[in-house]
Structures are given as C-alpha cells and as structure tokens.
C-alpha cells in the first residue's frame, strides 16, 4: 500500500471493469480529505494537480505533500500531473516523485500532438512513470479561462496515435467538458464504443463534474478507466467552508480546516461509490 504507478491502478480497473477516481487537489485540506475518503472506502485513487493550477498551488509545495501523502497511505495512490503543457513542468513533477504525467497537446495538429507526446513518453520512461495524453478536444479548460469548443476523438486517429506514441492512457473527447455544465451533457457513447474497440489503451474521461452516475457507469462499461473530478471537489470544499463561517459561535482556522477537509472527503467518497461499480445506484 502507498505510492504506486498509475498504470498499475488502470490495469486493475480494467481487470475488474471499474474506473479509478482521479481527484484534483489544491491545498492541504484537499489532500487530507481525498486520502481519508480513499482509506475509509478501502479504494485506490489518483491525486492530481493541473499545470494551470500551479500559480495558486505551487508545485514546489504541492508536489512533495501529495507524494508523501500517497507514500504513507493505507491504500494504493498514484500521484499525477494533469494537463501538463510543457516538458519542463513534466520533468519537475517527475523529479518530485510523481508516478504519472499527462501531456496535453490536444490543441495542436495531429502530427504535432504525436511528436510532443512521444517526447513526453521518452522522458517519463526514464523515471518509470505512466503517461497520459489527449486526443480530440474536451470543452473548456481546467481553470475556465479558455474554451475552444468540443471536438470528438476520431477512433481511427486514436488507434494510430496510441500505436505511434506508446502512451499508457488516452483522454478522449465524447461531448465532455471541464467545469460546471450549464445543462446535462449528452455523451457520444457510440464514439466511445468505437474507440474502445480499436485500442487496448485505458481510456480517460475528463470533465467529470455534472455527469450523471448512470452515464459514468455506462462509460466505464465502454472502456473508461480513469475519471477526473476537480470542480465538484473545489465546490464542495467552498460550500462547507461557507457553511462553517455562517454558523453561530466562534470561528477559527482549525474549525475551517476541518470543514474544508470534510467537504472534499464527502465528495470523493460519493464518486468512489459510483466508479467502483460495487454498489447499486439509488
């Protein structure tokens, strides 16, 4: 138990037809809440942070904390850099002990995406780390600052991409988007099924916040092995903090700390129940 490679968790998920929850964190409270939920549920998870979040949550502070939390956990946890944009930041994460990195060049041309991804794969192999890439265009961005629209992943392109780059996981675009959905998304399950039939690489679903439990499990049945949750955790933390500060009585940092941990804890537990596919949906 402790820090593991993400590839190990994805392989286990494939064997059991489940998905691993990849939970974005931005501070101590989020790390504590996510790890406590995983331990209480006896479930493996992925702790991750996106490169775009680093101005608020510096990698030099978050990286060692995330890695140490995983090392001392009672369950298997992988530590992942989400939506890495530059090789430089990928290397920094790997030097801190991250067991997985994502290179996101989905905004580039197909050939340019493959070239950048191959460079990331070659770097990560030196560290024995897992590599995730993205093909197609998932809506929005991790911080909500940009939105280039949604472009579904082409199944045949996915096959060629995975064969030529050797990536360990592929994030696909099937109508999903980052952030809060204004209306419930309509996922293109036919596209997902076609991708799953063409490649053996574990598939990743970004933009998990707001997708229904039923759609999560349908996606898992069609090859999704990693599901990213970010906005829901940030929102849950904020709501619990607001609730605490609006309550009667004396307020201090320690009570606020516990409220933020609790907010993330409950959100992570809720999603683990869905992704593990061991409990009926109610």
Binding-site residues from annotation: 83, 104, 134, 178-179, 206-209, 228-231
Sign of the alpha-carbon dihedral angle for 145, 146, 152, 155: negative
> Which is the catalytic residue, given 40, 76, 82, 200?
82
Binding-site residues from annotation for Zn(2+): 83, 104, 134, 178, 206
Dist. CA 33–CA 45, nearest whole Å? 12
Binding-site residues from annotation for dihydroxyacetone phosphate: 179, 207-209, 228-231
Is 82 catalytic? The answer is yes
Q: Give catalytic residue positions.
A: 82
């Amino acid at each position: 138990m402790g820090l593991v490679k993400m590839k190990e968790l994805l392989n286990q998920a494939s064997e059991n037809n489940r998905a691993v929850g990849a939970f974005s964190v931005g501070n101590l409270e989020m790390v504590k809440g996510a790890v406590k939920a995983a331990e209480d549920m006896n479930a493996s998870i992925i702790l991750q942070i996106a490169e775009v979040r680093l101005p608020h949550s510096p990698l030099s502070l978050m990286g060692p904390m995330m890695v140490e939390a995983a090392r001392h956990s009672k369950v298997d946890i992988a530590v992942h850099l989400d939506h890495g944009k530059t090789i430089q930041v990928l290397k920094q994460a790997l030097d801190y002990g991250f067991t997985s990195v994502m290179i996101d060049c989905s905004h580039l041309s197909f050939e340019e995406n493959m070239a950048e991804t191959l460079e990331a794969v070659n770097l990560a192999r030196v560290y024995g780390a897992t590599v995730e890439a993205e093909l197609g265009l998932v809506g929005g961005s991790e911080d909500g600052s940009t939105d280039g629209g949604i472009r579904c992943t082409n199944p045949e392109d996915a096959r060629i991409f995975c064969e030529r780059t050797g990536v360990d996981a592929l994030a696909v675009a099937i109508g999903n988007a980052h952030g809060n959905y204004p209306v419930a998304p309509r996922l293109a399950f036919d596209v997902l099924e076609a991708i799953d039939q063409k490649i053996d690489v574990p598939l990743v679903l970004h933009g998990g916040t707001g997708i229904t439990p039923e759609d999560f499990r349908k996606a898992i049945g069609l090859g999704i092995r990693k599901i990213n949750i970010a906005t829901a955790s940030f929102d849950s933390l904020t709501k619990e903090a607001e609730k605490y500060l609006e309550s009667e009585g004396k307020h201090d940092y320690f009570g606020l700390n516990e409220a933020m941990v609790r907010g993330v804890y409950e959100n992570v537990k809720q999603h683990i129940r869905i992704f593990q596919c061991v409990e009926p949906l109610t």
